[in-house]
Structure 1
Amino acid sequence: MPNTTPIPLECFYLSCFDACLMQAYETYHTSPISSPSFSPSPPYSPPSHEPPFASAHDYNYPYLSSGDVVEFCGPAYGGKTSILYFTTLTTILPPYWLQSKIESGPSLKITRKFEIGGRGTSVIFFDLDGRFDVSRIYDWIVRHLKRRVEKSFEESNTEESSGESEIQDKEADCCHDWVPTEEEITEIAKDALRRLHVFSPRTPLEFIATLHSLKEYLEHCQQRTRETFTFIMIDSIMAFYWQDRAEESYRGNSISTSSSVYLTQTLHILSSLLFANGLILLTTSWSLISDNSLSTAYPPELVYKDTLSHIWQSFVKYRFVVARQPLPQYEEGTRIAELSRNRRKEREEKRREGLFFGRMVTPACDCDIFEFQINDDGIFCE
């Protein structure tokens, strides 16, 4: 049975990306926001030679909703996979952590909760590039939880310094007793990772076969553990691009005019999964430098050029181009021996800062270029 349960109003939990969703809404909406309800229409059913993709891209809400497809494209090491990891982190972590404590007295049990801020739902992650790093996600989760603990301490210390009554002092002391310990943080992180389901097909055929069986897998998880799934993530949708092109060339098809069999079947299955289960698709892809990139108002790294077929282009609702910010270049003719130690140190510090930038290219709503940072602690927007 299709899952018709309303899903929460989703976002990236990253202000620079969420602002783009708001910009798209402000540009395209034609009516005021009504009470959100999830009642998905059945997937479009065109002739058998065309995939059933969602053709009505109405930007009626400033957030992600069921059936949305989001693509992050850009050059290698541009932060695309990191964005998927961060979204995974905020999805699989629970909204809060509960702890029960026995107080003095006959059977006096007090339960309090520590706010974590996650969704508490599950993620399907397709690692098509073969570079999935679960230890990195785990480290980000642990550091995220420790930052929440530090923030709780800071808030309690602020209340302590501003409060004058004994009641406030006792409440502040109690707050320190109700945050997770190091062992409990590890337990929360490991428990969250149980909501991450990773598949690593190595060929187009394996990928399509896994997609075919995903409906039964989702139903099994929902019945056995009552999990709720929010995202399907694919890293990257172009992992089998060259294999697919070789296959099309072998069959004698025109690469420029025909959509690949692999991509067509993939879109058929994904469309049905998204609408039937109330899911959102996040995917990555690499992009080529456009021939006219030097003549545009954007940096060459942020100029988007279509690579996949028009069917895929119309399948995507939001498309972001992201890349690492280029390092400051030395003046022409500068010799390495002439560079000062401070100049080299400054350039190395810029490299370690992990500064990235991006922009939204779909829909076309003149969004500004935004900046964000990726480091060992996660992703941060200004």
Structure 2
Amino acid sequence: MQQPRDMTPAFSWITADETAEQALVRILTERPFLILPPPFHRLPLRAGNVVEIVGPSPSAKTLILIQAAINCILPKEWKGVSYGGLERAVLFIDLDCRFDVSSISRALQRRIIEANGLRSSLKGSGNEYDKELFVACLRRFLYRRCYNSFEFIATLKTLHHRLHQEKEKGGSAVYILLIDSIGAFYWMDRALPSSSTRNNNRKSLSLQTVVETVVQEIQRLLVVHPILVLATKSAVFGDKQSTTDVIRKRPDEKTSDPRGPQNKPYRDFMPSVWQSLVSHRMLLRSLDGESKNQNRPTFSTEWLLPSLNSMDYFTVNDDCLLIPK
């Protein structure tokens, strides 16, 4: 049977085929494999995953985000030197409003210096590093600061347009979305009035509805853009009684985690709609009191989701780099 002429383009698109090699090249180009530094090395993370990094303050949560960002913005190779990066952009959404740009600057400089085999100190007057590469990497580090949940939601709603604009400018596509920290506005949102608004067609404004909107916008983003989401969250430790006194649930707030273990060493205060979005969860602890090396803070990491029977330890040096132990 002969195909109609006007339907030929449609039929050619439907019947188009590709080899396994072509399919693999296309998939790896759209969703490249990213080798993340410790403590992410235990699990294979890919685009579409939502990783929650839980820990008290301070426990190097932001520094872990910075290390992941550097691995993404560095190129795989530059002027014959191997850096092992992805040469893709990252977007850092700062909800904690305490991000210091000098921390990523020092860590990036040190990574470039170490890859080139230069041993001179950053504080030394004779130190040299590839400044052209340094500037090129920082161009791939996109930053946005939000001061409340409404600014955060507005950022997420306009993120699709912004990512499309970055692509049109010829820049690299954003591969990692970094959120620091997801529970920053918890107490502000709890103070929102839970009564219905004047317009009965609109939902009442509350912590639950705000978090639901955030989750919906992230889910929509993941459908269109192949990105990995890394989000930090502060943890409240202590016994069950004292923690309950600190965080009291409202009747409309659900905090049970249907996907995580029930014997968590901390009280999870985020609503269940956020917890159901999380695909991986890492717990950080500070071991300053137990560390023999008092010059550098020591931390431990443990995967709670999925649960792994192993722990990793690392310290933080003066250049804001994590040093595995």
* Runs of 4 or more consecutive aligned structure 1 residues displaced over 6 Å after TM superposition: none
User: Do the aligned partners of 1:145 and 1:185 also contact (CA within 8 Å) in 2?
Assistant: yes
Task: Quote the residue 1:338 is aligned against.
Answer: none
* Change in 2 beyond 3 A, CA 1:10/1:288: same
Q: Which amino acid aligns with 2:294?
A: R
| TM-score after normalising by structure 1 | 0.64
Q: Which of 187, 195, 219 is equivalent to 1:271?
A: 219
Give, in whole Å, the separation in 1 of the partners of 2:152 and 2:94: 10
| TM-score after normalising by structure 2 | 0.74
Unaligned stretches of 5+ residues in structure 1: 22-62, 99-112, 153-180, 253-257, 294-301, 329-346
Give, in whole Å, the separation in 2 of the partners of 1:354 and 1:187: 33
Give, in whole Å, the separation in 2 of the partners of 1:282 and 1:69: 6
Unaligned stretches of 5+ residues in structure 2: 1-25, 120-125, 198-205, 242-263
Residue 18 (str. 1) matches residue 41 (str. 2): yes
RMSD of equivalent CA atoms: 2.7
User: Do the aligned partners of 1:125 and 1:233 also contact (CA within 8 Å) in 2?
Assistant: yes
Task: Quote the residue 1:313 is aligned against.
Answer: 275
Shift of 1:226: 3.5
**Where in structure 2 are the equivalents of 1:189-204 lying within 5 Å?**
189-204=134-149
User: Do the aligned partners of 1:303 and 1:321 also contact (CA within 8 Å) in 2?
Assistant: no
User: Do the aligned partners of 2:34 and 2:72 also contact (CA within 8 Å) in 1?
Assistant: no
**Where in structure 2 are the equivalents of 1:262-341 lying within 5 Å?**
262-291=210-239, 303-328=265-290
**Where in structure 2 are the equivalents of 1:255-266 lying within 5 Å?**
260-266=208-214
State, as a whole percentage, how many aligned pairs show the same letter: 29
Task: Quote the residue 1:369 is aligned against.
Answer: 311
Task: Quote the residue 2:245 is aligned against.
Answer: none
**Larger Rg: 1 or 2?**
1
Residue 88 (str. 1) matches residue 83 (str. 2): no
Q: Which amino acid aligns with 2:32?
A: P
Task: Quote the residue 1:130 is aligned against.
Answer: 97
* Change in 2 beyond 3 A, CA 1:322/1:251: farther
Shift of 1:214: 0.7
Shift of 1:376: 2.0
Give, in whole Å, the separation in 2 of the partners of 1:139 and 1:326: 23
Aligned residues: 264
**Where in structure 2 are the equivalents of 1:1-382 lying within 5 Å?**
5-14=29-38, 16-19=39-42, 21=43, 63-98=44-79, 113-150=80-117, 185-248=130-193, 260-291=208-239, 303-328=265-290, 350-364=293-307, 366-377=308-319, 378-382=321-325
The structure in which a higher percent of residues are helix is: 1
Give, in whole Å, the separation in 2 of the partners of 1:311 and 1:209: 19
For CA contacts below 8 A with separation 6 or more, give which structure has more relative contact order. Answer: 1
User: Do the aligned partners of 1:71 and 1:316 also contact (CA within 8 Å) in 2?
Assistant: yes
User: 3-state SS of the aligned residue for 1:266?
Assistant: helix
* Change in 2 beyond 3 A, CA 1:184/1:355: closer
Shift of 1:149: 1.7
Shift of 1:182: 5.6
Give, in whole Å, the separation in 2 of the partners of 1:251 and 1:372: 49
User: 3-state SS of the aligned residue for 1:320?
Assistant: strand
For each residue in 1:163-205, what CA deviation from the matched residue of structure 2 results, as whole angstroms up to 9, or x when unmatched? Answer: xxxxxxxxxxxxxxxxxx9655222112200001100111211
User: 3-state SS of the aligned residue for 2:67?
Assistant: helix
